[in-house]
């Protein structure tokens, strides 16, 4: 049940039961995430595409994974790919149609806004020995002015972004607290820090996730469990198309990182247990100073950016 990511400085201060990696020393910055000493069960929401799928691909082959999302076919494809990788790497015995017996990748397909999906997710993780890592990567949004967007669209998105996120996080956090170890990694966004005209419901939901994740980390201090939050800017995925954003414009506008790159950043943040992790060179500076800008002015800036080139600050 131990989740034994190599401990960064935060890890060293936290939790009597929290593993520190094999040597107990701070991990080398150059160490590949593939070599990070994860050993526990990982649960990844939003594993059918984009960032969640890339995180599943990067987790060490010996790490059992529970994948969830609504698209069962896409999830199965990711699971098969992973099971084949695990078998090839571990030399584990194969059962059934090429499925490794060592580190299984298990699919739980369903809408996370349904309580039943959350219960099935918990049960699947329990059957594997209990989750040591939860990655909250599921999310969606809709582009458009509040008064011009069907409210059901925003409500549907935020059932996943807020209600499902809350249920999954709280339920797994309680189990990890009882076990005395674990990491919950929430993929929020830079949007968490700004009011977001033309994508208001999504920005507000990301602010909720950010606040909830940071508060959870405080509540769990000393328990051996960490709640960390990652705040990426725009990256390449199907998110923009689904949200009705002009992805082509975004991608041609400058250096937009791939989901794989953000996944590598996320795995390093988990390994080092960084409380709040922001990728890139500019975004961390923006986030540091954004609090000095009045909110109404910030809303005006975001509105202008999103009107000109919709996804300029966020997906």
Ligand X SMILES: NC(=O)c1ccc[n+]([C@@H]2O[C@H](COP(=O)([O-])OP(=O)(O)OC[C@H]3O[C@@H](n4cnc5c(N)ncnc54)[C@H](OP(=O)(O)O)[C@@H]3O)[C@@H](O)[C@H]2O)c1
Minimum CB separation of residue 137 from ligand X in Å reads 5
Residues of the chain by 3-state class (helix, strand, coil), percent to 5: 50, 15, 40
224 or 234, CB closer to ligand X?
Answer: 234
Q: What is the dihedral of CA 75, 79, 81, 87, to 10 degrees?
A: 180
Total site size for ligand X, rule CB under 6 A: 30
8 or 201, CB closer to ligand X?
Answer: 201
Q: Which two tokens stand for residue 156?
A: 């549907």
Which region among 26-34, 109-117, 176-184, 263-271 touches ligand X (by CB under 6 A)? 109-117
Q: What is the DSSP string of 89-110?
A: HH-PPEETTTEESSS-EEEEES
271 or 314, CB closer to ligand X?
Answer: 314
Question: CA 3 to CA 18: how far, in whole Å?
Answer: 7
Q: Give the nearest residue (CB) to ligand X.
A: 50
Helices (H), the chain: 9-13, 50-58, 72-90, 115-127, 151-158, 165-179, 200-219, 239-243, 247-253, 259-272, 283-290, 295-308
Which region among 8-16, 214-222, 231-239, 287-295 touches ligand X (by CB under 6 A)? 231-239
Q: Is 201 in the site for ligand X (CB under 6 A)?
A: no
CA atoms within 13 Å, Cβ hemisphere of 257: 17
Question: CA 291 to CA 104: how far, in whole Å?
Answer: 44
Q: What pairs with residue 66 in β-bridges?
A: 43, 106
Residue 107: C-alpha distances to residues 12, 75, 82, 140, 247 (Å):
34, 6, 11, 20, 29
Minimum CB separation of residue 111 from ligand X in Å reads 5
Q: Which of 43, 59, 100, 112 binds ligand X (CB under 6 A)?
A: 112
Q: Is 235 in the site for ligand X (CB under 6 A)?
A: yes
Q: Which of 65, 173, 259, 302 binds ligand X (CB under 6 A)?
A: 259
Task: Give the closest residue to 83 by CA, choosing from 108, 58, 101, 109.
Answer: 101
Residues 53-92 that bind ligand X (CB under 6 A): 69-71, 74
Q: Is 232 in the site for ligand X (CB under 6 A)?
A: yes
Q: Is 279 in the site for ligand X (CB under 6 A)?
A: no
Q: Is 113 in the site for ligand X (CB under 6 A)?
A: yes
Which region among 32-40, 127-135, 210-218, 236-244 touches ligand X (by CB under 6 A)? 236-244
Per-residue binder mask for ligand X (CB under 6 A), 124-163, x = binder? -------------xxxx-------------------x---
Residues 30-59 that bind ligand X (CB under 6 A): 46, 48-52
Residue 207: C-alpha distances to residues 82, 109, 125, 168, 178 (Å):
33, 27, 28, 17, 28
Q: List contacts with ligand X (CB under 6 A).
A: 46, 48-52, 69-71, 74, 111-113, 137-140, 160, 187, 189, 232, 234-235, 237-239, 242, 259, 314-315
């Amino acid at each position: 049940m131990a989740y034994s990511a190599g401990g960064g400085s935060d890890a060293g201060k936290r939790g009597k039961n929290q593993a520190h990696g094999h040597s107990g020393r701070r991990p080398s910055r150059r160490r590949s995430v593939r070599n990070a000493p994860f050993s526990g069960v990982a649960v990844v929401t939003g594993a059918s595409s984009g960032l969640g799928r890339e995180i599943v691909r990067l987790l060490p082959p010996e790490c059992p994974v529970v994948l969830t999302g609504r698209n069962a076919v896409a999830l199965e494809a990711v699971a098969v790919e992973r099971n084949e990788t695990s078998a090839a790497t571990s030399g584990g015995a194969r059962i059934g149609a090429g499925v490794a017996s060592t580190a299984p990748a298990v699919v739980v397909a369903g809408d996370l806004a349904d309580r039943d999906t959350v219960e099935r997710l918990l049960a699947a993780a329990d059957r594997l020995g209990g989750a040591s890592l939860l990655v909250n990567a599921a999310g969606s949004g809709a582009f458009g002015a509040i008064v011009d967007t069907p409210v059901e669209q925003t409500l549907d998105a935020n059932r996943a972004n807020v209600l499902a996120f809350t249920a999954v996080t709280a339920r797994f956090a309680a189990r990890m607290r009882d076990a005395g170890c674990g990491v919950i990694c929430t993929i929020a966004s830079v949007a968490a820090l700004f009011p977001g005209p033309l994508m208001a419901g999504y920005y507000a939901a990301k602010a909720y996730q950010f606040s909830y994740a940071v508060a959870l980390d405080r509540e769990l201090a000393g328990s051996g469990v960490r709640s960390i939050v990652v705040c990426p800017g725009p990256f390449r995925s199907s998110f923009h198309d689904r949200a009705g954003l002009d992805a082509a414009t975004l991608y041609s506008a400058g250096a937009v990182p791939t989901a794989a790159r953000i996944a590598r950043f996320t795995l390093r943040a988990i390994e080092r247990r960084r409380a709040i992790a922001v990728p890139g060179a500019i975004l961390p500076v923006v986030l540091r100073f954004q609090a000095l800008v009045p909110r109404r002015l910030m809303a005006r800036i975001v509105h202008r950016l999103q009107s000109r080139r919709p996804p300029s600050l966020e997906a």
